[in-house]
Chains A and B, each alone.
Chain A
């Protein structure tokens, strides 16, 4: 449980602090994994299989998310020639 919390916080800090989009994506993955660990741990603690099922779902979703995310990052790099996440901020209201 503690491991999950530490991982999640690390991921969150990375998400907020890093400017490089690839690292932002990686931080997201870390947060997803932290959630997965939390599910597994909860499943083991109460002896239920649901936690492991949820982890499989999260894994599938993370795979989809990464493919979309990387495609977006690639497109942004083509457009702005940088991986800085401040670059596309002209899209504000």
Chain B
């Protein structure tokens, strides 16, 4: 059954190809069956492969399909590499991806570009699976750029609105900054170690480079640059909130299964390199901690439902980076698993809510939806509890607990990182329950005009169950992942024990929920009073604009670029070449005047020419 591995990326690709070529001729039903069915098939095959892989008992399986290029020692293969890490990621991507596709069949039912949407979505999933299963960095990079392209296509899906095109370009360009760093890392690794095969690369790196060597540090920092761009971490997080311009299932796919987790995967995949570069690993942890706090604050003041969720994703990916940075590798992947469930669910619920209210995004115009959309409410509530870490029951609690304990006790843990994680937990609970209270409680402000059908409610129910129960996979999953990732080596630092950390996390959840209840349910005037002060208003505006990053980048990069472009509007280098063209043109015009059509003039000209040349030949 392991031989079926290649079908997992191949089926979505094939379906994307068929849909993009013949899609418009299919009926809507055919497109839906094809689009969602291909991902379902990929998920089933992934499951078969997983069964086969677990039965075989080995820790890795490599399938080389063919040699890609052969140039003087550079011989990357189209090869797939399966181990515990990629297996878990592929299973999550295909399963969550399938439910998002199922949801989309109904969500996009009215859209005129139905087949185009599914072609992009399938391509997206196919690229992500390629990225996950690639056995060399070049193939990984292909998948990496593939998801970048698909995110561009899907964010700008409703291309008739120029705003969406702008958001799509922003996502593409900002992630490209990271991608450039990553491609430099690839070149560096290849020139230094002579291969791009990930397993060999890691082996050679640990043999050739001592811990803390400058090359390893540089390579790790460059890879981190790529990961930061794709995973929307500081300082390249600005594209993700704008990416909300795309259809809601796209947001769910970008945030839960594909795209933003690629950076986390990249760092986990090349963990050997990061272990050789403690400085880069520390940077991962610091980036994660800073991002989770900053994005948490920004999420707190958004009034667009989807933007608030986007900031929450940035914050949760920050947790994963924090875990990777301190050396709690398995905890990061576990958080990825739980995050995939609850974040996909949150976005799908947001999609239901926005559809139900006729396209309303402003949470302060929603309200009282608890009774109108009960299933959506419960799904959102469960996902929200999971994200903010309702103790002992939800999946998010278990994964976050591991990360926060790891932030203190793992190899590179530090008390400051623990405090950042704990403060982030308070923020998470606060902004999540703010959304829940504002959207689902209180008075009805906008009437419900549409209720979701079966294809939209089934994914909500299934993912809701997953968002809660995935936590019970913790122990088997963590022990299984250690076959591909180093185990988390924890030791107690200071007085804090693991139980105390857990209690603190539960306490953080309680504080967050209490304040959310106080400020947005019991006495909203309190929040208004805080915001009404000058300082409150300024902080609110600052957080709302994502800590001014967009402003900064606009001043630092966009405007100088536009300024230079304006100066060079005439393109002075091109002026030289157009000058040559103009000279040739005028010469042609002058010479064409001599062509009078009078034969005797021609004869005279020939005579004169002959005389001149004969004279030249005679006297020179």
Contact = CB atoms under 8 A, between A and B. Distances in A.
Interface string B453-484: 00000000000000000000000000000000
A30 to B, nearest CB: 14
Interface in B563-620: 592, 595-600, 603-604, 607
Contacts of A85: 598-600
A92 B601 CA distance: 12
B592 A93 contact: yes
A89 interface: yes
B593 to A, nearest CB: 9
A92 B599 CA distance: 10
A92 B607 contact: no
A11 to B, nearest CB: 11
B604 A16 contact: yes
Nearest to A91: B597
B599 to A, nearest CB: 5
Given A92-B595, A93-B595, A12 B600 contact: no
B597 A15 contact: no
Nearest to A18: B600
A89 B598 contact: yes
Nearest to B604: A16
Contacts of B598: 85-86, 89
Contacts of A86: 598
Interface in A11-26: 12, 15-17, 19, 24
A5 to B, nearest CB: 13
Contacts of B603: 15-16
Contacts of B597: 88-92
Contacts of A88: 597
A19 B600 CA distance: 8
Contacts of B607: 12, 16
Contacts of A17: 600
Nearest to B599: A85
Nearest to B596: A92
Contacts of B592: 93
A12 B598 CA distance: 16
A15 B596 contact: no
Nearest to A90: B597
A12 B607 CA distance: 9
Contacts of B604: 16
A49 to B, nearest CB: 28
B587 to A, nearest CB: 14
A30 B597 CA distance: 24
Contacts of A12: 607
A35 to B, nearest CB: 14
B618 to A, nearest CB: 15
Contacts of B596: 89, 92
A22 to B, nearest CB: 14
A17 to B, nearest CB: 8
Nearest to A17: B600
A90 B595 CA distance: 10
Interface string A50-93: 00000000000000000000000000000000000110111111
Interface string A3-43: 00000000010011101000010000000000000000000
Contacts of B599: 24, 85, 89
A90 B607 CA distance: 23
A42 B603 CA distance: 27
A9 B363 CA distance: 102
A85 B607 CA distance: 18
A85 B598 CA distance: 7
A90 B597 CA distance: 6
A20 B349 CA distance: 96
A55 B93 CA distance: 92
A34 to B, nearest CB: 14
B594 to A, nearest CB: 9
Nearest to A93: B595
25 contacts: A12-B607, A15-B600, A16-B600, A16-B603, A16-B604, A16-B607, A17-B600, A19-B600, A24-B599, A24-B600, A85-B598, A85-B599, A86-B598, A88-B597, A89-B596, A89-B597, A89-B598, A89-B599, A90-B597, A91-B597, A92-B595, A92-B596, A92-B597, A93-B592, A93-B595
- 9 pairs of A and B residues whose beta carbons are closest in the complex: A89-B597, A92-B597, A93-B595, A93-B592, A89-B598, A91-B597, A92-B595, A16-B604, A16-B600
